[in-house]
Amino acid sequence: MQQKVVKVSTRMNSCPLCSAKLVKKYNNNKRRVITLSGEFWVKERVLRCSNRECPGHSLSFRAEDFQATIIPYKIFGLDVILHIGTLRYEEHKTYAEIQEALRKKNIKISMGELTKLTMTFESLIKGWHDEHIQEIREKLGEYVLSIDGTYTYKGKTLYIFRSYETGVVLYANTTEKDDVQHFQPLLEKVVEMYGLPIAVISDMQPAII
């Protein structure tokens, strides 16, 4: 079967820190990604600021839309992980039933991988990061914060806060409503945990703006 290759890059043309042009930093190797919409091989072009005096010259500006669909080192997309979590904890399906439900969507997954993805879902929802703040912060340094709030779980909005440069999830939590009142405490929590980011990149939802 012929591989479906998708080329991706950031939607930005200029650096958010100094407005200089973004230029190629490197191309990532092709990455296999399995989503509810199908299987893809993604080739990402990573950019950096062309201004050598700008902090953005040493940063990696990634493809926002692509990064919002994945978790580092996982083949299966976030939509698959959240679908598994919904089937497991909202519909109370057994692992065998979840495996069959995914098969109907043309997604083949081993029982071992299914168990790991369920644990990944639990980590996102239960706040694994609270116990690892210092470890993550030491590796993080100055960072660009990426915010995604496009996922729903039990009628709630799941916000995912990441290091834009590495894609590492820094914090995740749900809100009852997608508005400023419910979103602001989450952002304040991230700043409390990791300090102020040097820039913020988001999907421009009203609550985030």
Q: pLDDT tens digits for 2-18?
A: 678 999 999 999 999 99
Q: What percent of the chain has pLDDT over 90?
A: 53
Average pLDDT over residues 153-181: 81
Most confident option among 42-51, 81-90, 149-158, 187-196 = 42-51
Same domain assignment for residues 133 and 182: yes
Same domain assignment for residues 116 and 132: no
Q: Where are the alpha helices (DSSP H) in the chain?
A: 64-67, 78-89, 95-103, 111-126, 133-140, 180-194
Same domain assignment for residues 138 and 182: yes
Instruction: State how beta strands 31-35 and 38-49 pair.
Output: antiparallel
Residue 30 burial (CB < 10 Å; 0-12/13-18/19+)?
A: middle
Q: Which of 18, 35, 67 is the last residue of a domain?
A: 67
Same domain assignment for residues 60 and 103: no
Q: pLDDT tens digits for 116-148?
A: 999 888 888 776 666 677 888 888 888 999 998
The answer, yes or no, to whether residue 1 has pLDDT greater than 60, is no
Phi, psi of 39 (to 5 degrees): -110, 135
Same domain assignment for residues 111 and 153: no
Query: Which region among 30-39, 134-143, 151-160 has the lowest average model confidence (pLDDT)?
Result: 151-160
The answer, yes or no, to whether residue 153 has pLDDT greater than 70, is no
Task: Name the average pLDDT for the chain.
Answer: 88
Task: Give the pLDDT score at 130.
Answer: 66
Q: Cα separation of 104 and 123, whole Å?
A: 26
Same domain assignment for residues 147 and 188: yes
Nearest to 63 by CA among 26, 10, 14: 10
Full domain range(s) for residue 57: 5-67
Same domain assignment for residues 196 and 132: yes
Domain presence at residue 135: yes
Average pLDDT over residues 165-194: 85
Task: Give the pLDDT score at 27.
Answer: 96
Residue 201 burial (CB < 10 Å; 0-12/13-18/19+)?
A: buried
Domain presence at residue 164: yes
Task: Give the pLDDT score at 167.
Answer: 80
Task: Give the pLDDT score at 150.
Answer: 67
Average pLDDT over residues 52-68: 92
The answer, yes or no, to whether residue 154 has pLDDT greater than 90, is no
Task: Give the pLDDT score at 68.
Answer: 85
Domain presence at residue 209: no
Phi, psi of 202 (to 5 degrees): -145, 175
